[in-house]
Structure 1
């Protein structure tokens, strides 16, 4: 008889929620830094202005990467089949993201080493790539999850991925990528408006307004597109407490199938509503000078948009476009009952520490960043 106080189904649902928290945490906390990097060459025109933006996110961006590391670690430990398929099938896409992210620490450290405008401008564009490319590719990845990935299992449960990098760049996936870039750039713009002043804040307000409007339009367009495309629906009864076996179910493609969850669980409609309202309020806040209202609303918008994708595909993690019954769901792609419980105990201890430390760092680093404040700080970038 099991001595674990939580049943397998409950633990699986808890880890589905925790994975969502970690991914949304990175989208917001890491997104603010990626957004500033994406806007860097356009909002900041002079060397002093660009130094202001670098020091706006420079002290905290490394800590914000913790959410990405935790998300990857959670997938590896809690959902090993998902890790195996996604990190091998999307290997080239992952490498593109990692190479772009590597440009950020190099750019921060190397940019100020040589007092040459061409040298610094080169690293400014490298920091732009380090913000724009991960934002785009991560959104493209979400789009491909909705489309389904070309993988299957053989009789011995070996995984075979039959796609390639360029097949990931389908029109719908690119649309999802643009939604990702738009919402992250909007969040970055609200941060710049909130913590800088003068002409730079005005430029960020203008860019943030346009990226926010673009996000709203593209998100609505994506919703209509999803309603007309085929979605994956599990058509057999699944035992939520059964051992993992991805081939134990039957799956069908149904037009508009990704919307079926909203009929079964009407409360899920709150996610796209929060996503839309958050971006609308962010745009209004930027236009009206409500600095921190715009920032918080942009964060809520990102929460709603990412949650919309996760709720729409539930219980799937990664559907298969070539062998639908092989699609990975919450119920057949998790670790063992004991593993999930031990991981939960560790999370209960360490996640609050991370949250408290993050809150403390942001409190210490609060305030307006300006050229004058940088001149008083010998450790500034």
Structure 2
């Protein structure tokens, strides 16, 4: 027996769909509080020392957290090549904007304190704010466009053509999803600051965290209503072959109102995903500011899990629908790499992912504790 046949092709496709979701959730949970901390920086820190305290809570860990973003890009490239082709070419300007904003973060960390000048440091503080806000917004906008569908087509030679524009991505529903992302990650950043800071900085973070939690609940609910009323889903109307070739043109697809809610009726247990999307912010709102700081941080991660899982569960088996050529929509069953490629990647992931998780846990255990004025003003390694 060939080794990769130990796991059949349909199962491997579902496993990699789940793993892609895990990586996206890992990025939102781990790098999300970095982005949220950047968003909160100009507001929770009122003087230079307070802002340095905020920066030093994430300064030692943000690079490691961004591994999840790299993993996500690599996983899409290797396991879902057609998804990579559409998203990384069609969303090119959006990706460039994200990269520009993310580049501002390390530059801001390194250069902010090089000059003892108020205007210089204030400018870099707002650059760090942009480095947190812009990616948070664009990631949410991307999710919104994924739900609404993207204008691409595939010809008979399986060449992919993207016919949209950057500003076409900024439609009302996508922007609403962007606001959900901003609110959720701002809340998550506040839970991190509540864990890592003390005094006035912590009190302000708690205040903003409560408001961001309520905003997350309200915007997530509003997004669900908008999805029901204004956004058509997609339904496969032909026979599905889970072990079929990776050719999206071998099926027929129709757009249908409320189709993205069908999985919840067919599989009621999937309602756990949106329930966690609401439960996480509710727990943050109730407990942030208390001594249960680890619980509130975990609740922020639960919120990220619930919101992202809601999108995945709603769309399954679709990965990226096409508004221009619905039959060319990419699904779990027809957009993956080969059986052998998915199996080899799974073996590699099972080997290295636990190492990444163990190393991350070790780093956070070493860096546990709060950041205060003494560490920032007296520490030679502080930002």
Alignment of 1:56-205 (within 5 A): 56-205=57-206
Alignment of 1:1-381 (within 5 A): 2-4=2-4, 5-228=6-229, 229-286=231-288, 288=290, 290-381=292-383
Alpha-carbon shift at residue 293 of structure 1 (Å)? 2.0
Q: Unpaired segments of 5 or more residues in structure 1? A: none
**CA–CA separation in structure 2 for the residues paired with 1:299 and 1:152:** 36
Alpha carbons 2:147, 2:315 under 8 Å: kept: yes
Alpha carbons 2:184, 2:212 under 8 Å: kept: yes
Alpha carbons 2:108, 2:127 under 8 Å: kept: yes
CA-to-aligned-CA distance 1:327-354 (integer Å, 9 cap, x gap): 0001111000000011011101100000
Alpha-carbon shift at residue 195 of structure 1 (Å)? 1.3
**CA–CA separation in structure 2 for the residues paired with 1:210 and 1:17:** 32
**CA–CA separation in structure 2 for the residues paired with 1:237 and 1:11:** 20
Alpha-carbon shift at residue 289 of structure 1 (Å)? 5.2
Q: Is the partner of 1:253 in helix, strand or coil?
A: strand
Alpha carbons 1:209, 1:287 under 8 Å: kept: no
Alpha-carbon shift at residue 292 of structure 1 (Å)? 2.4
TM-score (norm 2): 0.98
Alpha-carbon shift at residue 155 of structure 1 (Å)? 2.1
Alpha-carbon shift at residue 294 of structure 1 (Å)? 1.6
Q: Is the partner of 1:240 in helix, strand or coil?
A: coil
**CA–CA separation in structure 1 for the residues paired with 2:282 and 2:328:** 39
Q: Is the partner of 2:250 in helix, strand or coil?
A: coil
Give the root-mean-square deviation of aligned CA atoms.
1.0
**CA–CA separation in structure 2 for the residues paired with 1:298 and 1:219:** 14
CA-to-aligned-CA distance 1:8-33 (integer Å, 9 cap, x gap): 01111111111111010000100010
Per mean C-alpha deviation after superposition, the further-off stretch among 256-265 and 282-291 is 282-291
Alpha-carbon shift at residue 376 of structure 1 (Å)? 3.5
Q: Unpaired segments of 5 or more residues in structure 2? A: none
Q: Is the partner of 1:152 in helix, strand or coil?
A: strand
Alpha carbons 2:264, 2:271 under 8 Å: kept: yes
**CA–CA separation in structure 2 for the residues paired with 1:83 and 1:240:** 20
Alpha-carbon shift at residue 193 of structure 1 (Å)? 1.0
CA-to-aligned-CA distance 1:238-269 (integer Å, 9 cap, x gap): 11111111001111111101001111211110
Alpha carbons 2:49, 2:377 under 8 Å: kept: no
TM-score (norm 1): 0.98
Alpha carbons 2:203, 2:289 under 8 Å: kept: no
Aligned length, in residue pairs: 381
CA-to-aligned-CA distance 1:211-254 (integer Å, 9 cap, x gap): 11011001011111112231111111211111111001111111
Q: Is the partner of 2:153 in helix, strand or coil?
A: strand
